[in-house]
Structure 1
Amino acid sequence: MLTTVWQIERLSGSAGDFHQRDLPDVITPSVWWFDVDHSAVALGSSQPISDIDAAACAQAGIDIVRRRSGGGAVLLEPGDVVWVDVLIPAGHRQWRADVSSSAWWLGEAWRSALSSLGMPGLSVHTASIRHTERSRRICFAGVGGGEVMLGDRKVVGISQRRVRAGARFQCAYYQQWRPSTHELVFGSSGPRADELLDLVAPVSAPAAAVREAFEHALNSLG
């Protein structure tokens, strides 16, 4: 069995530029690590901007960008969130035609990586999508296939964009979870900070250690 060779890139810049980065015409197995240099809230591809308080975001210096994958908004702040895209071509051994199960393998790679860094008790969500009252607005309030959980709290969020040539899985986890900033972003019609406290289980391991462990987990898949 041939071993997958992953092309690794690490980039720094604006969330808007990263989300608009085009997929190559020929997709090869790739890992794109993104370090955002400015605060931004990334709306899902079809999410209405009315879900957030645009004026409050502008006043706080938080950019509003739109990603090409679906789901609710994700707050991206330098040092608080780690974001990585994983690309595979159609026909890759991890490719699944069934969208509902297509990210299970990736969630297992995340679970393995984080468990190796001393974060026990993690599970990969393999049931149907679990919507909540807030998940239309906030990505981390719902649970989809392949996402990594610690009990009822999300650890790694995963969304995907599929094209004929392959798939782009967008993954994120929080090192610091700040409900008060989320309350500001979503405004008076959104959830209060105390309602968001238990949505997320932050990852305390250093980002460099997580990168190494995750890349090792991908390589271990063959």
Structure 2
Amino acid sequence: MRMIHVNGSVAEFHERVIPDDLDAPEVWLFEPAQRSLVLGSAQDPTTARADAASAYGVSVVRRRSGGGAVYVDPLRCLWFDVVLPRSDARWSDDVRESTYWLGEAWMRALRASGFDASLYEGGLEQTPWGRLVCFAALGPGEVLIDGRKAVGISQRRTRAGARFQCIVYDHWDPYDVLDLLELSPEDRLAAASDLAGIATGVGGKLDVVRDAIMQELLGA
């Protein structure tokens, strides 16, 4: 597996395509140029509060994979994509099981970094806020710390392969994303209360976790 460093806008990064002639897995380690709110492919642009995004200096973009909204802060998250060609031995035609190998790598990396990490092997959770906010629900292959979601993974598949997008935060604050979404004040308070303890971050260990997951993916 080889690493490619990418920096720039979140919109440009999402436009990157899996090369048709990809012959080996790649890690695209991404450094976003600014804070962003990333909507899932099925979310309407009006899901985002344009006035709040403008006031906070947050760009609003849409990814090509499904799921809820994700908040991106270059100073507070680790984001990279793993691109896997169909010819790779880790490829699976089962969409649910196809993320397990990556989740297991994350689990080992988090454990090596001192966390009590576990792999979620169930189906996509149906929760009250899961369609709205990515970290409000668990998907196959995602990873928990002390029973709370810590690693978000989305997947996009093409004829050439699969692109797994991974994100981890230093800490989880539901208002980071909720303040950028079109919600009534009552719904925002209810969502924040429900989501406060559902996810977590890695504290001041983002660099430690980055080194550990890269060792898992690139060390061999």
Q: TM-score, normalised by structure 2?
A: 0.91
Answer whether contact 1:40 1:65 (CA < 8 A) is retained. Answer: yes
Mapping 1:206-221, distance limit 5 Å: 206-219=205-218
Unaligned runs of 5+ in 2: none
Check whether the contact 1:117–1:205 (CA below 8 A) recurs between aligned residues: no
Q: Deviation at 1:36?
A: 1.3
Match of 1:74 among 70, 74, 78: 70
- String of CA shifts for 1:170-196, please: whole Å, max 9, x gaps: 010111323333231124335333333
**Contact 1:33/1:83, CA 8 A, preserved across alignment:** yes
Q: What is the DSSP-based 3-state SS (H/G/I as helix, E as strand, rest coil) of the residue aligned with 1:103?
A: helix
Moved more, 137-146 or 45-54: 45-54
Percent identity of equivalent pairs? 39
Distance change (3 Å), C-alpha of 1:144 and 1:59: same
Q: CA RMSD in A?
A: 1.7
- Residue 206 of structure 1 and its aligned partner are, at CA, apart by 3.3
Written as runs of structure 1 = structure 2, the 5 A alignment for 1:39-58 is 39-58=35-54
Instruction: In structure 1, list runs of 5 or more residues that go unmatched.
Output: 1-5
Please, which of 2, 6, 12 is the counterpart of residue 11 of structure 1? Answer: 6
**Structure 1 residue aligned with 2:200:** 201
1:56, 1:187 within 8 Å by CA — same for their partners in 2?
no
Q: Distance in 1 between matches of 2:181 and 2:147?
A: 22
**Cα drift, residue 205 of structure 1:** 5.0
> Per-residue displacement from partner, 1:94-153 (whole Å, max 9, x unpaired)?
100000111011000000001001012x11111111121101010111111100013442
Contact 1:110 / 1:214 at 8 angstroms: preserved in 2?
Answer: yes
Q: TM-score, normalised by structure 1?
A: 0.90
CA–CA distance in 1 between the matches of 2:197 and 2:83? Answer: 31
Q: Counterpart amino acid of 2:69?
A: A
